[in-house]
C-alpha cells in the first residue's frame, strides 16, 4: 500500500503540473503561430525543414528502444556516409513521401524487419533457434507541432514468428540450461499491439506524460545500449534480469526535469499486460488491479543526453499476480553510463530483487560500447554476474557469469548485420555443464 501511495502521489503531481501548464502552453502556442504567420507574410522567415521522414527533435524520457528513440536513431544512421548505396536510390521516392507526411500531417512513420539466428553449444548436442519480427511504428504529432510542447499519438504493431526451428530464440537460454534470455524479444507471439498511447510534453519539454498501451521497458532502468534491435541481445545487458517488467499493457509513465540536471521518472502499468489481446488489458487493469510500479531519480549533464550520460537509481514494486501464481515483490537498480567523446560508452549496472517473479535476485554488470561515427557501426562487450532467484527457481543454484560481444556492421544506411557471441559460465539449470556458448547473427532492415 505504501508503494501504491508513493507512485500515485508522484504521478498525480506530474499530471497536475501537466494540466496547469496546458492553458499556458496553448495560449503561448497561439501567440507564436500568429507571430510566425505575420513574419512569413512579410517574407522575413524561411521555413525550417527537418531531416527526411523525421520531426524536429524534442528531448524525451523514453529509452533507445522506444518509438521516439528508434525514429531518432534510425534517422542518424540514414544520414551517415554509406558503405554501399544500393537501396537509397530505390527508396528515395518513399522517403520523400515520408517527409511529406511529416510536413503536411505531422506523421512520422517507420518500418523494420529483424531476423535473428542463435546456436547453443556445450559438451552435449548443439541447439539452434531462429525468429523474425516485422514492426510498424510511428508518432503522429497532433498538437503543438513545431513547438517544445507537442502532443502525439504513438503506436507500434509487431508480428513475431519463428524461422524454421523448433525453438524460438527467446526460449533458447532456458532450453539449454541458462536462467536468462539470450535474445529477449524473439518469440512466436504472432501479432502484438505493443504501443498505443498519448504522449504529451509540457513545461517547454521538461515534463512528459504518456498514457495508454505502454511498454515499461521504455522507461525503466534505460541506458543507450538497452536496445535489443541494435545493441546487446542478452536481457542481462538491457533492462536486466532483476526487474520483472510486465508485458505491454495499459499504464501511465511520466518524466520531469526537476532541475537542469536532476530528473525523475515514475510509472504504473498493468502487471498482467497482454499485447496479443489489448482489449483484455482494460478488464485486467481496472478489475484485477495488479500493478507494476516504478520510480527513478537520476542525474544527467543535459536533458538532450538523458540516456547517453546519466546516473540513476530505480525502485520498483509489483503486486501479487493471483491467477498467474506469482508473489508480490520489490527491488532496486543502479546504473551509471557516459558517452566519452561521442565514441566510448562505459557502463556499470547493479540490481537487487526480492521476489516478484524476477529471474535473478542479485546482478552486477560492467561493460563498454564503441560507436564508429563515419558509418554508424557499433561494438559492445559486457560481463554480468547473476544469482538466480530462490523464490522463482529454488535454492542451491549456481551463480552465473554471462559475457557478450557483438559488432553491428552497418552495410547500408538501411541494413545492419550484427554477429554476436555469448559465453555463460555455470549455467544454473544445467548441473552437468560448466559453460555454454551462444553464437548468433542478427539482420535488421529499417526504412
pLDDT at 17: 42
Judge contact between 236 and 384, C-beta under 8 A: yes
pLDDT at 87: 78
Q: Tell me the mean pLDDT in the region 262-268.
A: 97
* CATH code for the domain of 364: 2.40.160.180
Q: Tens digits of per-residue pLDDT, 169-201?
A: 999 999 999 999 999 899 999 999 999 999 999
**Where in the sequence is the domain holding 349, given as residue range(s)?**
2-47+64-446
pLDDT at 26: 38
Residue 305 located in a structural domain = yes
Q: For the whole model, what pTM was predicted?
A: 0.85
Residue 394 located in a structural domain = yes
pLDDT at 79: 76
Lowest mean pLDDT among 43-47, 120-124, 245-249, 439-443: 43-47
Lowest mean pLDDT among 49-63, 314-328, 353-367: 49-63
Angstrom distance (rounded) from CA 247 to CA 373: 34
Judge contact between 359 and 180, C-beta under 8 A: yes
Residue 58 located in a structural domain = no
The three-state DSSP-derived secondary structure of 283-338 is HHHHHHCCEEEEEEEEECCCHHHCCCCEEEEEEEEECCECCCCECCEEEEEEEEEC
Q: Tens digits of per-residue pLDDT, 96-123?
A: 999 999 999 999 999 999 999 999 998 7
Judge contact between 446 and 111, C-beta under 8 A: yes
Residue 228 located in a structural domain = yes
More confidently predicted of 37 and 375: 375
pLDDT at 19 over 90: no
pLDDT at 90: 84
Q: Which runs of E-coded beta strand occur in 35-96?
A: none
Q: Tens digits of per-residue pLDDT, 429-445?
A: 998 899 999 999 999 99
Judge contact between 284 and 278, C-beta under 8 A: no
Q: How distant, in Å, are the alpha carbons of 1, 202, 253, 325, 381 from that of 237?
A: 31, 32, 22, 27, 10
pLDDT at 374: 81
Judge contact between 128 and 116, C-beta under 8 A: no
**Mind giving me the DSSP string for 371-383?**
EETTTTEEEEEEE
Q: Tell me the mean pLDDT in the region 375-391.
A: 95
Per the structure, how many domains does the chain have? 1
Query: All 3 cell numbers of residue 258?
Result: 526537476
pLDDT at 287: 93
pLDDT at 13: 47
More confidently predicted of 63 and 263: 263
**pLDDT bucket at 59, cuts 50 / 70 / 90:** low
Q: Tell me the mean pLDDT in the region 414-423.
A: 96
Q: Tell me the mean pLDDT in the region 132-146.
A: 96
Please compute, for residue 22, the number of CA atoms within 13 A of its CA located in the half-sphere on the CB side: 10
Q: How far is CA 171 from the centre of its chain?
A: 20
**pLDDT bucket at 82, cuts 50 / 70 / 90:** confident
Q: Tens digits of per-residue pLDDT, 193-212?
A: 999 999 999 999 999 999 99
Judge contact between 298 and 265, C-beta under 8 A: yes
Which residue in 64, 67, 259 sits closest to 152, CA to CA?
A: 67
DSSP letter at 97? H
Q: Tell me the mean pLDDT in the region 156-165.
A: 97
pLDDT at 156 over 60: yes
Which residue in 45, 44, 32, 102 sits closest to 71, CA to CA?
A: 102
pLDDT at 155: 97
Angstrom distance (rounded) from CA 22 to CA 25: 5
Judge contact between 277 and 246, C-beta under 8 A: no
Residues forming a β-bridge with 440: 118, 420
pLDDT at 333 over 80: yes
pLDDT at 29 over 60: no
Mean pLDDT of all residues in the chain? Answer: 87
More confidently predicted of 6 and 137: 137
Residue 55 located in a structural domain = no
Residue 52 located in a structural domain = no
pLDDT at 24 over 70: no
pLDDT at 91 over 90: no
Q: Tens digits of per-residue pLDDT, 206-243?
A: 999 999 999 999 999 999 999 999 999 999 999 999 99
Percent of the chain with pLDDT over 70: 87
Q: Tell me the mean pLDDT in the region 42-60.
A: 41
pLDDT at 61 over 50: yes
Amino acid at each position: 500500500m505504501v508503494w501504491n501511495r508513493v507512485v500515485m502521489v508522484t504521478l498525480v503531481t506530474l499530471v497536475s503540473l501537466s494540466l496547469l501548464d496546458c492553458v499556458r502552453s496553448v495560449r503561448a502556442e497561439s501567440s507564436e503561430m500568429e507571430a510566425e504567420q505575420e513574419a512569413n507574410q512579410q517574407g522575413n522567415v524561411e521555413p525550417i525543414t527537418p531531416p527526411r521522414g523525421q520531426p524536429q527533435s524534442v528531448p524525451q524520457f523514453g529509452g533507445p528502444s522506444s518509438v521516439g528513440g528508434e525514429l531518432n536513431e534510425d534517422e542518424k544512421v540514414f544520414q551517415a556516409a554509406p558503405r554501399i548505396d544500393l537501396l537509397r536510390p530505390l527508396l528515395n521516392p518513399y522517403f520523400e513521401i515520408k517527409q511529406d507526411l511529416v510536413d503536411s500531417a505531422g506523421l512520422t512513420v517507420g518500418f523494420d524487419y529483424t531476423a535473428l539466428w542463435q546456436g547453443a553449444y556445450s559438451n552435449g548436442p548443439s541447439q539452434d533457434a531462429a525468429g523474425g519480427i516485422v514492426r510498424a511504428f510511428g508518432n503522429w504529432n497532433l498538437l503543438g507541432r513545431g513547438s517544445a510542447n507537442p502532443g502525439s499519438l504513438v503506436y507500434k504493431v509487431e508480428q513475431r514468428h519463428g524461422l524454421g526451428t523448433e525453438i524460438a530464440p527467446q526460449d533458447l537460454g532456458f532450453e539449454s540450461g541458462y536462467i536468462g534470455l539470450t535474445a529477449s524479444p524473439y518469440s512466436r507471439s504472432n501479432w502484438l499491439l505493443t504501443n498505443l498511447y498519448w504522449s504529451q510534453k509540457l513545461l517547454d519539454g521538461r515534463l512528459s506524460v504518456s498514457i495508454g498501451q505502454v511498454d515499461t521497458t521504455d522507461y525503466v532502468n534505460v541506458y543507450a545500449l538497452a536496445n535489443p534491435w541494435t545493441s546487446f541481445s542478452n536481457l542481462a545487458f538491457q533492462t536486466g534480469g532483476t526487474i520483472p517488467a510486465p508485458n505491454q499493457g495499459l499504464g501511465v509513465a511520466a518524466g520531469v526535469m526537476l532541475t537542469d540536471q536532476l530528473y525523475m521518472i515514475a510509472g504504473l502499468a498493468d502487471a498482467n499486460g497482454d499485447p496479443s489481446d489489448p482489449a483484455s488489458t482494460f478488464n485486467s487493469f481496472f478489475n484485477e488491479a495488479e500493478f507494476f510500479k516504478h520510480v527513478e531519480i537520476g542525474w544527467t549533464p543535459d536533458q538532450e543526453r538523458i540516456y547517453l550520460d546519466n546516473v540513476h537509481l530505480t525502485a520498483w514494486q509489483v503486486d501479487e499476480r493471483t491467477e498467474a501464481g506469482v508473489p508480490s515483490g520489490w527491488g532496486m537498480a543502479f546504473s551509471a553510463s557516459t558517452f566519452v567523446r561521442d565514441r566510448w560508452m562505459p557502463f556499470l549496472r547493479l540490481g537487487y530483487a526480492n521476489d516478484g517473479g524476477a529471474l535473478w535476485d542479485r546482478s552486477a554488470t560492467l561493460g563498454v560500447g564503441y560507436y564508429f561515427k563515419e558509418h554508424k557501426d557499433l561494438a559492445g562487450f559486457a560481463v554480468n554476474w547473476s544469482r538466480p532467484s530462490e523464490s522463482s527457481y529454488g535454492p542451491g543454484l549456481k551463480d552465473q557469469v554471462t559475457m557478450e560481444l557483438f559488432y553491428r556492421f552497418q552495410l547500408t544506411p538501411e541494413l545492419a548485420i550484427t554477429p554476436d557471441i555469448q559465453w555463460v559460465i555455470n549455467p544454473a539449470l544445467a548441473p552437468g555443464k560448466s559453460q555454454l556458448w551462444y553464437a548468433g547473427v542478427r539482420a535488421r532492415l529499417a526504412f
